Structure 1
Amino acid sequence: MPTTPGPAVVVVSYGSAELAAQALRPFAGTGWTRVLVDCWSSAAERQRVLDLGAAEGWRLVLPDANLGFGAGADAGIAAARDAGCDVCLVLNPDATITAGDAGALVADVAADPALLVAPVVRTPRGTGWFTGAVLDLRTGRTRAGEPAGPDDVPWISGACFAVSAQRMLDLGGFGGHYFLYWEDVDLSVRWTRAGGRLALRRDLTCVHDAGGTQEGNARAAGHGTATRGKSALYHYYNTRNRLLFASRNVPAGHRGGWLRATPAYTREVLLRGGRRAVVRHPLRTVWPALRGTAAGLRFLAAARSGTAATNDRTTDTKGVTHGAR
């Protein structure tokens, strides 16, 4: 007699098959559909994924390009939906959650498909990595904490969350606009504007080893604890995508505050890896941050003129794991 598929866990990987296997291990033998999206990195890595997938019984999604985190997660959610799964847990490859806590998250969504729900995210040392955050729509700055006024909007980290597969896809998913960073802020805002609700389950915990896939992908101001060794793509996409978000989600009359706050934000992103890194590696820090800021300003200019900005997404994706939040 056929059985109804259970929930799915979706992991997006780029060159991190072993980490992904650790993230998926708690769900083995539980009735969960385990979906791994392997963004193309090399032939050797693809073969590792094929071997692990066959041995572990994963459902594999194998794009022939590096999709980035958002588009990769969308592909995994679509595969889970096609397998009959109603609810998905999206999980970073360098994050772990118990099957029990994951089950509580998907039970919330099964009871209310309008809910986008996440656990508290902590480091292996037990410190808070994501314990709730808000975006100030006047300035485009994020911070940890709760809304303090009408211009503060909450958002949910993409490191670990549960969602209705069909509702997510009906909304357009993350989309491929951001590649890395700010796609979870964008999703949270679009989700609530479409009538959905956000929830942070403070009684549930995900452990995130930020840097397990790419050192330095943790964010400040609600995006995680700053670490050393930020990549060029970290600096580029954090500065670019803040202004891309404004071009897509902020009314023209309210973008002035975002522009005025941009120099300070760019400086903040630069310093997340430490002053020494800025001085010693300007081509990996200052130049990408300036390029990202310029690209974001082009998105704003295009939105103002009503034209589409050129897709300037860099093709230099070497060494970046797009499951890392």
Structure 2
Amino acid sequence: MGAGSAQALRFAVIVVSFASSDLLRRNAAALELPDDARLVVVDCFSGEAEREQVRALAAQQGWEALLLDANAGFGGGTNAGAARALQLGARVLVALNPDARIDDRSLEALVAAVEADPMLLASPTVLSGDGSPWFAGSDLYLADGVTRGAAARERFQGAPRREWATGACFAMSAALWRRLGGFDEDYFLYWEDIDLSHRALDQGARLALVDAVVEHDWGGTQERERRSRAKSELYYYYNIRNRLLYAVKRLDAQAVQRWSGSAPRVAYGVLKRGGRRQLVTSVRPWRAYLRGLRDGRRLVRAAARTAPRNVERLP
């Protein structure tokens, strides 16, 4: 892969790593980028040994390495990588999870779609380990804050909703990224992609799937959890807490109170994504459930003491 130049860098692929050097070696290292592209790997610090693995791999592959002193979260890490990509002159930004694999044709399709429409937030279809669609378009239903795949639209016709694009892999123009200011780092993990999509739509951008495919790497660092369906405690906590953070930031006061009222039910649905067995064999899901509800409702109470931002009103 060539180094590219600030004047000629067509696109940059941004990969945020946290203890993921094995995944980088397996997935990102398989990319064959053209001379006018660059891969920017952002290492959110998880230990000295891991840091050295990322540093050595980046040097071997010719990647641009950004080595952060702390874990900035997914949004913060992507923002840092995007800032470096913009310094290098990238005209299109492609975000890619370390546990995701994209082929050259699909990567080219994403970049070309954005070049043709700089106000496009482009997504691929993301396949799970068994080949079934994990992401093929998704919606946030505004009545209660439940997310559903695009296939559910016919079943929920007329329900207020907003499209959103997964952060696992997407592409957008440098101009649109600058206009949006990147991810909101208050989320740390999860829901930052829903928030980014919300703001993109508000700015007149459009969201679309393009003819591109990304595959999850089921041989990654969380293989044991995936086999058992169980999710991490952080997954549960941030999904539960950040649903209410999004409501506070993007919805009117009436909707915030409605989402707060339905939070226990929706949060239990988040726990069930990891299967029922974990709910009777471990305290961790329930601990995350209680912490997520507590901290989310603290955000709601704090917002109620200040002037609400009425962004999205429902009929």
Asked if Structure 1 and Structure 2 have the same fold, meaning a TM-score greater than 0.5 normalized by the shorter chain, the answer is yes
Structure 2 Cα separation of the partners of residues 196 and 11 of structure 1:
23
Counterpart of 1:322? none
Instruction: Tell me if the contact between 2:95 and 2:170 (Cα under 8 Å) persists in the aligned partners.
Output: yes
Counterpart of 2:229? 228
Matches within 5 A, 1:34-73: 34-73=39-78
Structure 2 Cα separation of the partners of residues 48 and 154 of structure 1:
38
Note the C-alpha offset of 1:211: 7.3
Matched, 1:98 2:100: no
Counterpart of 2:214? 206
Counterpart of 1:318? none
Structure 2 Cα separation of the partners of residues 273 and 130 of structure 1:
17
Note the C-alpha offset of 1:280: 1.5
Structure 2 Cα separation of the partners of residues 163 and 74 of structure 1:
13
Counterpart of 2:298? 298
**Paired residue secondary structure (1:285):** helix
Instruction: Tell me if the contact between 1:140 and 1:257 (Cα under 8 Å) persists in the aligned partners.
Output: no
Matches within 5 A, 1:69-148: 69-145=74-150, 147=153, 148=157
Counterpart of 1:172? 181
Counterpart of 1:264? 265
Q: What one-letter code is carried by the residue in structure 2 that aligns with 1:171?
A: L
Structure 1 Cα separation of the partners of residues 307 and 160 of structure 2:
28
Q: CA offsets, 1:290-321, max 9 Å, x none? A: 1111101111111111189xxxxxxxxxxxxx
Counterpart of 1:22? 26
Structure 2 Cα separation of the partners of residues 278 and 10 of structure 1:
36
Note the C-alpha offset of 1:54: 0.9
Q: CA offsets, 1:24-73, max 9 Å, x none? A: 23433522201100000000111111111111100011110001111101
Which structure has more RCO (C-alpha within 8 Å, separation ≥ 6)? 1
**Paired residue secondary structure (2:262):** helix
**Paired residue secondary structure (1:206):** strand
**Paired residue secondary structure (2:123):** strand
**Unmatched runs of 5 consecutive residues or more in structure 1:** 219-225, 309-325
Matched, 1:153 2:169: no
Instruction: Tell me if the contact between 1:12 and 1:69 (Cα under 8 Å) persists in the aligned partners.
Output: yes
Note the C-alpha offset of 1:215: 5.1
**Unmatched runs of 5 consecutive residues or more in structure 2:** 309-315
Length-normalised TM-score, structure 2: 0.89
May I ask how many residue pairs the two structures share in their alignment? 299
**CA 1:214–1:182 in 2, change beyond 3 Å: closer, same or farther?**
farther
Note the C-alpha offset of 1:107: 1.1
Counterpart of 2:12? 8
Length-normalised TM-score, structure 1: 0.86
Structure 2 Cα separation of the partners of residues 273 and 232 of structure 1:
11
Matched, 1:241 2:248: no
Structure 2 Cα separation of the partners of residues 23 and 51 of structure 1:
16
Q: What one-letter code is carried by the residue in structure 2 that aligns with 1:27?
A: L
Instruction: Tell me if the contact between 1:37 and 1:61 (Cα under 8 Å) persists in the aligned partners.
Output: yes
Counterpart of 2:195? 186
Q: What one-letter code is carried by the residue in structure 2 that aligns with 1:175?
A: D
- Deviating above 6 A after TM superposition, structure 1's stretches of 4 or more consecutive aligned residues are none
Note the C-alpha offset of 1:227: 5.7
Q: What one-letter code is carried by the residue in structure 2 that aligns with 1:191?
A: A
Report % sequence identity: 44
CA RMSD in angstroms, aligned pairs only: 2.2
